[in-house]
Structure 1
Amino acid sequence: MPLASQGHVDTGIVVVFYRPDEACVARANRLAAFGHCVVIDNTERERAAAHNVQPALDAAITYVANGENRGIATALNQGVEILLRADCRVALLFDQDSEPGEVLLRDLPATMRREIDAGRHFALIGPAYEDGRLGGTAAFVRFGFPALQRIAPEGSQLIDVDFLITSGSCVNLGAWATIGPMDDALFIDFVDLEWCVRARAAGFRVAGVPWLRLTHELGGEPVKFLGRTYPGHSPLRHYYLFRNAVALMKRSYVPWQWKANELLKMPFRLAIYGIWLKPRRRHLQMAFLGIWHGLMGRGGPLTAVH
């Protein structure tokens, strides 16, 4: 595999595609200059055949076409396994629509390497993300009750947190075998939170890097309610959100503060999505189906929409 022209030789990058457009391909090609870049494509086989992206990708990129949507967890696991075989030490993880700047692409893996060399046990570090639709730069989060603790991304020191979103984060690959891969059964939502909780339970730290930023859009078109803005999603995504929330509530290693907060928020989310998002009945139907499947222990992709 060719070495990156600007990036460190032991830095890997995983990008997950799903029905990518030309802009997604261009972003991946740009990333190839900063590390061993792997693209895992979850696009369905028929659609991928009609819009073949591989010829447009940089020759240095390792491209894996799954031919079906295997979920974000499985795709990330596939990418990380390729990077481990390439003897990468750290891995940057990105969604196809994330816009990392050069400072982040250089400084985030360099920061992780510095912490590893100093003997500090970090599993994951990541920037603050900026989503103009949701009000600008998001705070870092620690679990608390009756509300999550939100820490402003300020200062020049790493900020210990309870979880980070996947896109834009940097993984210590030396910790991967101890923590284990991401949970395939979750498929898409709360994959990042569950892995961070498991990492912390194994004795590793998760930290925000307050001086770095990533432009990232969380969810679909936002919903405004009582002065607050919530990320909007499709009915199918609401199925996974509610199913996986219930599934994680049943796991002993997940902190009780997070579980209690999710229980408090669930009725409000049902009301918000059922009133403001159309088709209202479909959003509620899929949310309640998710709750039921979570209680029943069902995981993986929803293969048949009821």
Structure 2
Amino acid sequence: MPAAVPLADNAVRHADGQGHAARFDAQSTCAVIVTHGPDPALLQQVVASVVPQVGHVVVFDNGSGGVDVAGLLAGHRRVSVMPSALNVGLGAALNRACERARELGFLHVLMMDQDSVLAEGMVHTLGAALVELQQGGDVAAVGPQFRDARSGELAPFVRFGFPFNRKLRGGPGQRVSCDFLITSGSLVPVESLVRIGPMDEALFIDNIDMDWCFRAKRAGLSLHGICDAQMAHSIGEQLLASRVKQDGVIVHKPFRLYFIMRNRVLLYRRGYTPRVWIAQDVPRLVLKFIGNALFLPARWQRLVFMCKGLRDGVAGRSGGLPG
């Protein structure tokens, strides 16, 4: 396993009066990637896109089984793999990898999914924006604008509203204050993780980033989308064309619907969850339930997983997929 270079040897921090970095050094960033049965060729592409942009990469292999992630990445310098025989969940995997980054002395963490390919210079663009934004207040995270790897559609940044969210795509040079950033591509100061807390491991997967963003906003920290920072990424296993939604309909595997339904209900129960988000998300949950139960393949299987998720959400149960 390649050894990480301690931060003291590869980055220098200059601080302003508030303790924020006065300039951004990309070598102060550790990328953390969570893998679970990844496509080997795509993972190689992902890692190749991030290694030149950061000081180190920690890969938490979340029970991949048939894919030898450590062997696959053995040729990359400044990449270390944390293997787990079992799938401990996305939240726990991110937390263990971020803890490793902190132990190595890094000041920033770049969270990544196993299918996110960074554009050249993305980390530097995010970091430069972060440093400037920190001069005006505490920033929880900044995130890139991504294009769906399948459709090529540019994803918007989101501000919560009722009856509909505001979807803002911005333009060159723009920075969008938003209420939510997806985990992948988010550049997070370590001090933000300390202040806000780790990812909620009990959610296991799905809505983990939403929960963390809710807590960040409650703590008075801001979130910003940086339009000049770009990456390719895909949400869900399929993207179906739709006459109703311009950017298509995201389709997940049936078992994921358990977590999507359960964790939404769990978030509805939490005092820091914005009421406006709940008000406009409940109808979306209903539509998702109807769409999966009536119009997608494996309808009965989808219905069973959704009903179990709703039941456990109402009961306040969390953790992994029940047996």
Structure 1 residue 119: Cα displacement: 5.5
Q: Is the contact between residue 156 and residue 168 of structure 2 (CA under 8 Å) also seen in structure 1? A: yes
Residues 61-210 of structure 1 mapped to structure 2, 5 A cutoff: 61-116=79-134, 118=135, 120-131=137-148, 133=150, 136-210=153-227
Corresponding residue SS for 1:38: strand
Structure 1 residue 135: Cα displacement: 6.4
Distance 1:119 1:164, change over 3 A: same
Structure 1 residue 56: Cα displacement: 3.0
Q: Provide Cα deviations, 1:90-127, integer angstroms capped at 9, x if missing partner.
A: 111110111101121322123223434x2531111111
Structure 1 residue 158: Cα displacement: 2.0
Distance 1:177 1:131, change over 3 A: same
**1:17: which partner in 2?**
35
**1:33: which partner in 2?**
52
Q: Is the contact between residue 92 and residue 109 of structure 1 (CA under 8 Å) also seen in structure 2? A: no
Distance 1:249 1:278, change over 3 A: same
Q: Is the contact between residue 49 and residue 117 of structure 2 (CA under 8 Å) also seen in structure 1? A: no
Structure 2 unaligned segments of length 5 or more: list them.
12-24
Question: 1-side partners of 2:132 and 2:158: how far apart?
Answer: 23
Distance 1:244 1:121, change over 3 A: same
Distance 1:119 1:260, change over 3 A: closer
Give the TM-score, by structure 2 length.
Answer: 0.86
**2:72: which partner in 1?**
56
Distance 1:4 1:236, change over 3 A: farther
Q: Is the contact between residue 90 and residue 112 of structure 1 (CA under 8 Å) also seen in structure 2? A: no
Question: 2-side partners of 1:164 and 1:181: how far apart?
Answer: 15
Structure 1 unaligned segments of length 5 or more: list them.
none
Structure 1 residue 150: Cα displacement: 1.2
CA RMSD, Structure 1 to Structure 2 (Å): 2.0
Structure 1 residue 210: Cα displacement: 1.6
Structure 1 residue 295: Cα displacement: 0.5
Corresponding residue SS for 1:125: strand
Question: 2-side partners of 1:15 and 1:153: how far apart?
Answer: 27
Tell me which moved more, 8-17 or 239-248: 8-17
**2:21: which partner in 1?**
none
Question: 2-side partners of 1:64 and 1:91: how far apart?
Answer: 16
Corresponding residue SS for 1:41: strand
Q: Is the contact between residue 134 and residue 231 of structure 1 (CA under 8 Å) also seen in structure 2? A: no
**2:233: which partner in 1?**
216
Structure 1 residue 161: Cα displacement: 0.4
Structure 1 residue 51: Cα displacement: 3.4
Question: 1-side partners of 2:210 and 2:59: how far apart?
Answer: 22
Distance 1:51 1:134, change over 3 A: closer
Question: 2-side partners of 1:80 and 1:51: how far apart?
Answer: 23
Distance 1:55 1:155, change over 3 A: closer
Tell me which moved more, 125-134 or 192-201: 125-134
Total equivalences in the alignment: 298
Give the AA of the match of 1:205.
Answer: S
Q: Is the contact between residue 123 and residue 229 of structure 2 (CA under 8 Å) also seen in structure 1? A: no
Question: 2-side partners of 1:188 and 1:140: how far apart?
Answer: 21
Structure 1 residue 30: Cα displacement: 4.3
Corresponding residue SS for 1:211: strand
Structure 1 residue 142: Cα displacement: 0.6
Give the AA of the match of 1:109.
Answer: G
Structure 1 residue 9: Cα displacement: 2.5
